[in-house]
């Protein structure tokens, strides 16, 4: 079964969100929805998430899942808002490795013992290899740790959503220097994806349009194995780790990592309001 895949590009962060639908039953999943956040003013908006809702409504889709490929460091997730305002029956799901991410970042943000690190902010935690249905289409979870310890890819009826394990072939791979990241682990995760058939459609979570080309989101496993600038046929683990770690050492932290992760480890829920009714984000000084 071939799902309909509608990509939505978030220009501010280079993120691709997807509405993935079974064309027969009209059941659907939303993957990696973005909540707009302006760090300069501290303002949020739902304009980007509303585009996903509009698409779902126009096509008469029934959203069954709100899927995160991982706790993102570059954008805040709109999953909580989508569930609360539009899709109350759709569970928010992420990889079981979120517990490790929550443990690390509870300490970084000093969230205290009231902040659960058992993943219970999410409705469902996926194990590697777990399967679930989107209408009549079977989806399979492939754990791809390395960029983060909770990273999942979702293979939905022959369409693979890689999260940040792989970018487009000319973009390579995602950094592995966040807390919990590891380049050798990512290499092994990518090899699992490369064991899929060459014709597998691949949809990436980010594209930064290298070289000034138009933004793009779809490629294939065959194209990645042939052309990926970081990890392709013939590149061994040691070579990848060396390249990845050398490059990571030059990268600044993402602009939104500190606001984003504290929201995303709560499944996209903002921190509770304080006694004046305002919500606040925390910025640890000299920690990252
Ligand atoms: Fe990421």
Distance 139 CA to ligand 1 centre (A): 21
Q: Do the Cβ atoms of 138 and 193 come closer than 8 Å?
A: no
pLDDT higher at 288 or 22: 22
Distance 75 CA to ligand 1 centre (A): 9
Structure-token pair, residue 111: 């969230």
Find the radius of gyration of the CA atoms of the chain: 18
What residues have their beta carbon closer than 5 A to ion ligand 1? 72, 164
Condensed to tens digits (0 to 9), the pLDDT of residues 161-198 reads: 999 999 999 999 999 999 999 999 999 999 999 999 99
Sequence-ordered alpha helix ranges (H) in 14-88: 47-59, 79-85
Percent with pLDDT over 90 in the chain: 99
Distance 257 CA to ligand 1 centre (A): 10
Q: Do the Cβ atoms of 248 and 176 come closer than 8 Å?
A: yes
Distance 149 CA to ligand 1 centre (A): 11
CA distance 138 to 156: 6
Q: Is the pLDDT of residue 3 over 90?
A: yes
Distance 205 CA to ligand 1 centre (A): 8
Distance 117 CA to ligand 1 centre (A): 20
Q: Do the Cβ atoms of 209 and 147 come closer than 8 Å?
A: no
Condensed to tens digits (0 to 9), the pLDDT of residues 211-261 reads: 999 999 999 999 999 999 999 999 999 999 999 999 999 999 999 999 999
CA distance 143 to 129: 8
Instruction: Determine the pLDDT at residue 1.
Output: 81
Condensed to tens digits (0 to 9), the pLDDT of residues 118-160 reads: 999 999 999 999 999 999 999 999 999 999 999 999 999 999 9
CA distance 58 to 73: 31
Distance 151 CA to ligand 1 centre (A): 8
Q: In what order do the strands lie in the sheet with 124-126?
A: 4-10, 15-21, 27-31, 62-67, 92-95, 124-126
pLDDT band at 279; cut points 50, 70, 90: very high
Distance 24 CA to ligand 1 centre (A): 32
Q: Is the pLDDT of residue 67 over 90?
A: yes
Structure-token pair, residue 237: 């683990």
Distance 164 CA to ligand 1 centre (A): 5
CB count within 10 Å of CB 40 equals: 5
Residues sharing a CB contact under 8 Å with residue 1, sequence separation 6 or more, in sequence order: 22, 24, 136, 137, 138, 157, 158
Q: Which of 74, 19, 69, 89 is nearest to 49 (CA)?
A: 19
Helix (H) or strand (E) holding 188: helix 183-194
- Bridge partners (DSSP) listed for residue 95: 126
Distance 222 CA to ligand 1 centre (A): 23
Handedness of CA 18, 136, 64, 115 (dihedral sign): negative
Structure-token pair, residue 5: 């895949």
Instruction: Determine the pLDDT at residue 283.
Output: 95
Q: Do the Cβ atoms of 261 and 105 come closer than 8 Å?
A: yes
Region of 112 (left: φ > 0; alpha: ψ -120 to 50; beta: rest) is left
Distance 25 CA to ligand 1 centre (A): 31
Burial 62-94 (b: 16+ CB within 10 A, else e): bbbbbbbbbbbbbbbbbbbbbbeebbeebebbb
Distance 263 CA to ligand 1 centre (A): 14
Average pLDDT of the chain to the nearest whole number: 97
């Amino acid at each position: 079964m071939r799902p309909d895949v509608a990509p939505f590009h978030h220009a501010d962060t280079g993120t691709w969100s997807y509405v993935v639908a079974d064309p027969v039953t009209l059941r659907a999943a939303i993957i990696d929805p973005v909540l707009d956040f302006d760090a300069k003013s501290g303002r949020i908006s739902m304009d980007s998430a509303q585009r996903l809702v509009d698409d779902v409504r126009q096509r008469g889709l029934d959203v069954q899942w709100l899927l995160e490929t991982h706790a993102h460091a570059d954008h805040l997730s709109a999953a909580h808002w989508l569930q609360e305002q539009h899709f109350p029956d759709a569970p928010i799901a992420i990889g079981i490795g979120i517990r490790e991410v929550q443990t690390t970042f509870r300490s970084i943000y000093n969230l205290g013992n009231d902040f659960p690190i058992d993943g219970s902010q999410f409705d469902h935690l996926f194990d590697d290899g777990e399967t679930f249905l989107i209408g009549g289409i079977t989806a399979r979870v492939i754990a791809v740790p390395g960029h983060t310890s909770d990273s999942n890819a979702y293979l939905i009826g022959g369409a693979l959503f890689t999260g940040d394990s792989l970018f487009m072939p000319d973009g390579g791979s995602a950094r592995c220097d966040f807390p919990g990241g590891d380049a050798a682990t990512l290499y092994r995760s990518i090899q699992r994806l490369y064991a899929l058939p060459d014709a597998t459609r691949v949809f990436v979570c980010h594209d930064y349009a290298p070289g000034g080309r138009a933004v793009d989101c779809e490629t294939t496993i065959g194209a990645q194995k042939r052309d990926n600038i970081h990890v392709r046929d013939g590149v061994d683990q040691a070579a990848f780790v060396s390249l990845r770690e050398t490059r990571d050492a030059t990268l600044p932290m993402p602009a939104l990592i500190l606001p984003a992760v504290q929201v995303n480890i709560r499944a996209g829920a903002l921190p509770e309001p304080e006694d004046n009714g305002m919500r606040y984000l925390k910025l640890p000084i000299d920690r990252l």
